[in-house]
Amino acid sequence: MGTSGLERELKRGSTEVLILALLENRRRHGYEIGRLIDERSEGAISFHVASLYPTLYRLEDRGLIDGRWVEKARQRRRRYYRLTPAGRKMLASQRTTWQTFFLALDRVAGIRHA
Amino acid sequence: MDWKSRIRAACIVDGQALDDGVLEELSQHAAGVYEAARADGCSHDEAEQGVEALLADWRRHAPALRRRLQRPTVIEPSTGSVNLLAGIVQDARHGFRLLRREPVFSIVAILTIALGIGAATTLYSIVNSVLSRRQRSLGRWSAWWTTCGRAGVADARQPEIFLPHRQIRCAAAVPDPILVVRTTDNPSRHVPTLRSVVRDEAPTLALDSVMTMEERVMTNLAKPRLYAVVLAGFGAFAVAIAGVGLFGVLAYSVAQRVREIGVRTALGARPADIVRLVLRQTALIAVGATTIGLWLAFAAATSLSRFLYGVGPHDAVTFVAVGAVVVAVSAIACIVPARRAARVDPLRALRSL
């Protein structure tokens, strides 16, 4: 598998944990989630935005996040997503899985994360 | 830029368009992408090209974007410290409107609770004053008492003269003399000595009801203390009745508004909004009843002052404490109906329309 293929596979696997992690502390809307992933990863993970909303809807169908239209005074309504209790458990589990994965990479191939 | 129409046209698959909610969400995203590109210095054509690329990708994912669960919109008030006061004013106005809608119920509720508060405050105020005066009297008697008489603790001191007992020949002059002895140690030890001295000096006198001065004062205050305890019990009962009455009133009020609450929930009201709605009405009833009740207590205590001697009927601590207790009882009494109201199933409520 070439490097671009590896990147594609890694991005696919990390999409859900990225979204869950961004929703851990506060609710956000879809555009904000995509923008934050791009900013905080410094461009290394650029979401193909077309896959963002299908992923959000899939997570919502699984009960890991909850999406609601919120209307504030003098603002147009926006759809905000927040983490559900099941989502928090999934996030904790995914974090453990990724940490274990990185430790194994480090032991086997000398790949350390920052 | 009408992104919504363009996305709708681009994402029709097998004759089916995306849901309005999905279209609105994607169009907001498209608008965000366009504005971000323009803010970065891109031209209109360049920014629009970026959005067009997005639309093409969404067209490929259209089957995964179709048919979302529709949920009611949540309306949030705007934040800010200025709005806290505006929110309180709005809550108060809404509460008054709710009470005006049911004037008879509101008046009955407020007066009933006010009577409970007034009775409790009056009783506790007088009881507290009597009990605290007893403490002061006990201290005064034990500190500088020098004369004795048949006076009770509540009586004013009368002018007295001392006469030698031997000069009083006529027994009718002092039919029931009271002998008071001050000792330097425990007076109970000197009772046998006292009996023998009285026997020697006045053989016709029989010592009866020998007691210490503390016992004397306690005996004297036994009746008013009993009255105070009984009245305090009645006061507590009045507060309990006020709390039970408030609970019943609120539960009835919430039951009458099940349809309204169901409609509000269907329109997006959260449980916290429903609880706030119930608390608005409760706060006005509690504040109104407390104000009227304390005024009634003040008037009642003033009219009862002529039956009291040396005791002020108004005890500020009691007035404040009873008011605070009633407000706390009101808050507790309204939590159960409020939480019950927040759990009203909107479908069941609307079916009852």
pLDDT digits (tens, 9 = 90+) for B250-276: 777 777 777 777 777 777 777 777 787
pLDDT at A85: 94
What is the C-alpha separation between B292 and B114, in angstroms, rounded?
6
Q: Do A51 and B61 touch (CB under 8 A)?
A: yes
Q: Which residue has the higher pLDDT, B135 or B108?
A: B108
pLDDT at B150: 43
Give the minimum alpha-carbon distance from B258 to chain A in angstroms, rounded to a whole number. 24
pLDDT at B146: 39
What is the C-alpha separation between B18 and B66, in angstroms, rounded?
5
pLDDT at A24: 93
Q: Which residue of A has its CA nearest to B57?
A: A50
Q: Do B71 and A69 touch (CB under 8 A)?
A: yes
What is the C-alpha separation between B269 and B72, in angstroms, rounded?
9
Q: Which residue of A has its CA nearest to B59?
A: A50
The per-residue pLDDT for range A17-34, each reduced to its tens digit, is 889 999 999 999 999 998
The answer to whether residue B145 scores a pLDDT higher than 50 is no
Q: Which residue of A has its CA nearest to B76?
A: A72
At B248, the pLDDT band (50, 70, 90 cuts) reads confident
Q: Which of B28, B75, B78 sits opposite A78 (nearest CB)?
A: B28
The answer to whether residue B144 scores a pLDDT higher than 50 is no
Q: Which residue has the higher pLDDT, A75 or B37?
A: B37
Residues of A with Cβ-Cβ distance to B60 under 8 angstroms = 50
Q: Do B57 and A53 touch (CB under 8 A)?
A: no
Q: Which residue has the higher pLDDT, B154 or A48?
A: A48
Q: How many CB pairs under 8 A join A and B?
A: 70
The answer to whether residue B185 scores a pLDDT higher than 80 is yes
Q: Which residue of A has its CA nearest to B73?
A: A69
Closest Cα partner for B69 from A83, A112, A65? A65
pLDDT at B143: 39
The per-residue pLDDT for range B5-15, each reduced to its tens digit, is 888 888 887 77
pLDDT at B69: 61
pLDDT at B217: 82
Q: Do A70 and B73 touch (CB under 8 A)?
A: yes
**Pair type for strands A65-72 and A78-83:** antiparallel
In a mutagenesis test of the B interface, which of A26, A29, A49, A60 is the best target, namely the one with the most B β-carbons within 10 Å?
A: A49
In a mutagenesis test of the B interface, which of A38, A39, A53 is the best target, namely the one with the most B β-carbons within 10 Å?
A: A53
Give the minimum alpha-carbon distance from A71 to chain B in angstroms, rounded to a whole number. 5
At B62, the pLDDT band (50, 70, 90 cuts) reads confident
Give the minimum alpha-carbon distance from B97 to chain A in angstroms, rounded to a whole number. 23
Residues of A with Cβ-Cβ distance to B36 under 8 angstroms = 35
Q: Do A73 and B77 touch (CB under 8 A)?
A: yes
pLDDT at B116: 74
Residues from B in contact with A at Cβ < 8 Å: 21-22, 24-26, 28-29, 32-33, 36, 54, 57-58, 60-61, 64-65, 68-69, 71-78
Element (H, E) at A97: helix A85-109
At B174, the pLDDT band (50, 70, 90 cuts) reads low
Give the minimum alpha-carbon distance from A69 to chain B in angstroms, rounded to a whole number. 5
Q: Which residue of B has its CA nearest to A81?
A: B25
- Averaged pLDDT of chain B: 74
Q: Which residue of A has its CA nearest to B68?
A: A57
Closest Cα partner for B321 from B282, B301, B294, B341? B294
At B1, the pLDDT band (50, 70, 90 cuts) reads low
The answer to whether residue B149 scores a pLDDT higher than 50 is no
The answer, yes or no, to whether ipTM is higher than 0.85 is: no
At A59, the pLDDT band (50, 70, 90 cuts) reads very high
Q: Which residue of B has its CA nearest to A74?
A: B78
Q: Do A53 and B26 touch (CB under 8 A)?
A: yes
Mean pLDDT for B139-145 is 42
Give the minimum alpha-carbon distance from B54 to chain A in angstroms, rounded to a whole number. 7
pLDDT at A64: 93
The per-residue pLDDT for range A60-100, each reduced to its tens digit, is 989 999 998 888 766 778 899 999 999 999 999 988 888 88
In a mutagenesis test of the B interface, which of A26, A27, A28, A31 is the best target, namely the one with the most B β-carbons within 10 Å?
A: A31
Q: Which residue of A has its CA nearest to B54?
A: A50
Residues of B with Cβ-Cβ distance to A51 under 8 angstroms = 61
